[in-house]
Chain A
C-alpha cells in the first residue's frame, strides 16, 4: 500500500524507507516516523480496540499522552504490550500487533460489549458480582479478564539488558521545547552543569510540530541549531529519548533513557534502557502542555484527534489522517491547525468554533457558534453532524476531526511531592501551585505561558533565577523574535445533549458515568476517580482529567477548582518493570561472596548452598554416592575417626584493638572478658538491649590490647554494626578501634583426632603444638609452610580435637590443597555445611536455629554465663519477668523412642498423650539430623523446664507433615558430654 496520506516536506528522512508490519499487513514508512505517523501516512486510522466496550479506536494524539493507539510492539520474547504507537520510533522490520481484539481488529467479536453498554456503567462490577462470593475467583474474574484488558505478556524472559545509572548536575531541565532550550542555553553559556532531557527523539518540543518562525528560521531549524550548540558544550548533557518520570526527595529525579528502543535489537552489550537517578541542585520543568479534547457524541471514532496532533502530523511527519478534515474548537489554537493544513495542501478544511465571535478565514470554512451533534463511521470517521447556531444540522463529510478544548499545562511532576496545582481562569486550566518539589521552578507552557515568545522568555528567566541561586553570573542571550499570541479560550467542556460521549478513552469512561457517580454520591474527586476509573489508566488521564472534573463541577453545581484534583504520582509515563531491576536479575540479583577454597571445592564437585551472600560447600559427593546423606554421613564419620577440613572463612571476624578493648568486650558480651589471658580464646554470648541473645562467637586475645572477635556467618554485619554503635554512641570515651577482617583471612577448621598430626606437617617447626603448650582454647600467631604468617586457634565446633587455621586470603586456595595433600596419610576428608551441622548437633552446640531472636541465655542453658559481677548490654533486661519463669524453655536433646522415627525441626512438643493443641504446647524442635555415630535421628529443641525433664517421654507432633510419635528428652550433648575429645 502506498503512503497515500503523505504530504510534502516534514522532518522525516525520505532517503531511508523502512518496511514494517501492523497485524498481517506490510507498510512502508521513513526514518523519523513514529509507528502512528507511518500508519496514518498509509491511510490506517483504526489502531486498537477500547478497554471495556471494544470500540474501534484510532490515534488521538501525537505524543506520550496517547490513550488509544496502544499496540504490542515486536514479537517473541521481545514483545512489549501497551506500547504507544505515537512514541514508538519506526525502524526497518518493526512488527506491531493490535491488542484486545478477537479474531481481528476490524472484526472483533467482543464488540458485543458495546451493544450491552447500558449494563456496563460505572460501578457495574461492584453491583453485579457481589454474590455468590465463591464465584468471584473461579468464574467472574476470569471472564472479565478475558473480555477486558490491554496487551498480553510474552511470559518469556526478556532477552534485553537494562542499566541503572547516576547523574549529577547544577540544573536539570525537563523538556527540550522553546522554554527548555532557552533555559539550557542561558545556563549552559553561563557555565552551569546542565542536563537537558526530553522524551522525544528530536529536541525541540512543539517547535518541531509548529509552523512559526524564530528569528527568520523555521522552528525545527532553530531547535536543531540550538540543540547542536548545547551538545557541543562540555558542561551540558543533552538527553533525547529520556523521560523524566518522577520527582523525588531532595532534588533527585528519575529518568528513563530509551537507548535502543529505536533499534530492532540493541547493539552488543548495550542496554535497551537506562534508569537514571539524577541528583540536581535545581530543576526547571519545561514539560509543555497537552491539548484537551471536547466531549461530544461518539467522539471516539478513529480519525477524531486532538487538533494539535493533526497539525503535528502534518508539520513534522508530513502526514494527514485524511484529505477532508474538520476542526472542532473553543479557542484560537484550533484555527492554527486549519491554517497549517491548508498550507500543506489539505484544502478541504472546516472549522466548527463554539464561540460566536470566532475569527473567520478565507482559507477554510468557519462555523461560528456550532457544536458537533453526532459523528458517523464504524471503523473510521466518515461524517459529522453540526448543530448550527441558528438551529438545524449540517452534515460534513470528513475523515478526520481535530478537537481543541484548550490546553492543560503538564503539571504532573510538580505534584510528585504532594504539591497541588491551582486554577487559572485566563487559560481555563490548572497551573503549578506554590508547593513545588525542592529546587524546582516551572517555565513555558507547563506554567500556563502558551506563546513561543513567552516560553523562550520564561525559560531564560527561570535559568537566570537558578544561576543567581547557585552563585553564577547569568549571561543574557538574545532571544529570536517569534509569535506571541495571547491564549484566547472560552471554556466549552462537553456537548450536554450527548449520550455516549467519552471522557477517558483509555478506560472507557463516559460523561454519563461521571453523572452516575455523582448521583450515587461518589462526589469527592478521589471517589469519582475510583468509582468510574477516570484517569486510572496507564495515561493517568492526561487527556481526560480536566473534562471529567468540569462535568463533575457542572452536575455538582460548583466550580472546577472546588471539585479539586487527584494526585499525580510517578511514573509520568508507563515505565517497564525491567528498568527498575537494571542488571539485578537472576543470579546477579545480589552480589555473591565466594570462599577462598571455592575454586578447589568446585574441582571436587562440591554442592554449594547460600549462607547469606556466601556460597558454601554443602557436601562433597564421591562418584559412588547418590544421596546427600551418604556424603554427609561419610564426612562426619571420617572426621570423627581421623580428620576433616571445612572452610569457615565466612564467619565474621572483627579486629578489636585499643587500651580499652577488653573493657569494651566486657560490655558487649554478657560473660566476662576482662581477665581473658593473652593467647587464649573464650566463647562469648552477646545479648541485645532487651536481653535476648543476639549472637555467639569467640574472642581471641592476641595481645593485651588486641582481640579477634568471631561472629556467626549470617550475623557478621549485624554484630559489627552493633559494636560500632556501642563504640561510637554508648562509650565514645573508650580507646577502642574496630575494623572487619572477615575477608582478609582464609580460615579452615581442621577437626578430628588426627588434626594435630596433620597440622604438625603444616605449622613451622618452631611452634609447639603439644596439648601442654597449645591446649584447648589457645590461640597464637605463627608461621606455616616455611614462613607464611598465620593464626592458629584451638577451638572446636564439632566437639573433636580441632583447630582453626587462618592465612592471608590469597593463600587460602594453596593451603586447602596443601592440607588435603598432607592429610592423605590420615584419609583426610573435606566436609561441608551438612556434616558441620550434624557434628554440632551431636555436640549440642547452638547456631542460628537456636539463636532465633526469641531466646535468652537461660533458654540456651547458659543463664549462668550472664555475669552479675559486671554491667553488660542486655544483662539487666534478661532478668525481666517472663524471661525467667520456672517453666522457661530450656535447650534439650531429643531422640526418638522408635529409632526409625525422624525428629523433624519445626515439630512441636506435647506432654505425652496430650491432645495436640496450642494450650498443651510444651516447646519446639529447632535443629534435627541423622547421627551416623548414634545410628538414629537426633534433635535439639526448646522444652518448658526441659533441663528438669531429662528421661521423660513426650509427644512430638507436626500436623503439617502428619508426624505424631514419642521422643525422649535427653541431654543436648549427645556425644562426649565431658569434652574429653576436644581437650585431647
Chain B
C-alpha cells in the first residue's frame, strides 16, 4: 500500500461542502471513472459486457444507468463513462479491461474530472443560471453534455430527482465550483 495522500480537486484533503437555502453542493471525490469505447466490429460484444456489468440495458444517448457499485452514462456513439466508488474500485480500469478484453478500449478517467453533487429543492433554478439545458424536462437517469461558464460538463439527474451530479474538468474545479456556488447565491 502506497503512502501518498490524495487531495480533492478543490485542493482540500476533505471534500468541500456548501449549503444554502436547503440546497447542498458537495464535492464528491469517491469516484473511479473509466471510459468504455467499443472496438470497431465488437460493438455488440461490448454492449453485452456492459449490460452484464450493469445488470441492465446499456444507457442510450442522453441517458445514465445507476447501479451499485457500477453506474454508466452515454458519452458518444458506442462510448460510455463507467463509474464506481473509488474506495473499492481504484483499479476500475483494470477491472473493466479484464471484463471487456478486446471488445472495448478502456481509459482511466478517474482524475480527469471533478464531481459535484447538487442536491435539494430548487436545484433547477441554480442550473438555469449555469447551463443552457432544459432542466425541467430532465428526468432521473438523463445525462447531458453541456457548458457551464465555458467549461464542458456532464450533468446527470439522479434518484431522487432533486439531486444532480455534475462532472467538470478537474483542473478547472475551482472555477466550476465558484460558478455553481455563485449561482446558488443568486438563485436561491
Show the binding face of A for B, using Cβ within 8 Å.
161, 163-168, 193, 268-271, 274, 277, 279, 583-584, 588, 590-596, 598-599, 613-614, 649, 655, 657-660, 705-706, 733-737, 739-746, 783-789, 807-815, 818
Contact = CB atoms under 8 A, between A and B. Distances in A.
A809 B170 contact: yes
Interface stretch (B50-58, B61-69, B127-135): B127-135
Interface in B99-155: 102, 105, 107-113, 128-129, 131-134, 136-137, 149-151
Please indicate which of the listed interface residues B2, B5, B41, B133 has the most CB atoms of chain A within 10 Å of its own CB: B2
Given A164-B129, A741-B107, A785-B2, A595 B39 contact: no
Interface in B1-19: 1-9, 11
A739 B172 contact: no
Nearest to A654: B107
B59 interface: no
Please indicate which of the listed interface residues A166, A274, A595, A659 has the most CB atoms of chain B within 10 Å of its own CB: A166
Given A599-B11, A810-B111, A161 B6 contact: no
B112 A810 contact: no
A161 B179 CA distance: 13
A270 B186 contact: yes
A811 B4 contact: yes
Given A744-B108, A812-B7, 5 more contacts: A166-B128, A167-B128, A744-B112, A786-B2, A810-B6
23 contacts: A163-B183, A269-B182, A269-B186, A583-B179, A588-B149, A591-B172, A592-B174, A593-B172, A659-B40, A733-B40, A739-B37, A743-B113, A743-B170, A786-B1, A788-B4, A808-B108, A809-B112, A809-B170, A810-B8, A811-B5, A811-B6, A814-B4, A818-B4
A737 B4 contact: no
Interface of B: 1-9, 11, 29, 35, 37, 39-41, 79, 91, 102, 105, 107-113, 128-129, 131-134, 136-137, 149-151, 169-176, 178-179, 182-183, 185-186
Contacts of A787: 1-2
Nearest to A738: B37
A165 B6 contact: no
Nearest to A655: B107
B171 to A, nearest CB: 4
B37 A657 contact: yes
Contact of B35 (A165, A705, A739): A739
A583 B149 contact: yes
A951 B182 CA distance: 61
Interface of A is mostly: mixed
B4 A785 contact: yes
A591 B150 contact: yes
A810 B79 CA distance: 25
Contacts of A810: 6-9, 29, 110-111
Nearest to B168: A591
Given A163-B129, A810-B29, A744 B175 contact: no
Nearest to A788: B2
Given A166-B131, A735-B39, A810-B7, A588 B175 contact: yes
A734 B171 contact: no
A814 B5 contact: yes
Nearest to A274: B129
A166 B133 contact: yes
A277 B147 CA distance: 14
A744 B9 CA distance: 11
Given A655-B107, A734-B40, A808-B111, A161 B186 contact: yes
Contacts of B170: 743-744, 809
Contacts of B3: 785-786
B150 A168 contact: no
Contacts of B137: 168
* CB-CB nearest 6 A-B residue pairs: A269-B185, A657-B105, A809-B111, A735-B40, A744-B112, A591-B175
Given A591-B175, A592-B172, A788-B4, A741 B40 contact: no
A583 B182 contact: yes
Contacts of A163: 129, 183, 186
B108 A784 contact: no
A746 B136 CA distance: 38
Nearest to B178: A588
Please indicate which of the listed interface residues B6, B11, B186 has the most CB atoms of chain A within 10 Å of its own CB: B186
Contacts of B149: 583-584, 588, 591
B7 A741 contact: no
A766 to B, nearest CB: 14
Contacts of B9: 809-810
Contact of B175 (A269, A592, A658): A592
Contacts of A655: 105, 107
Contact of B39 (A270, A596, A733, A737): A737
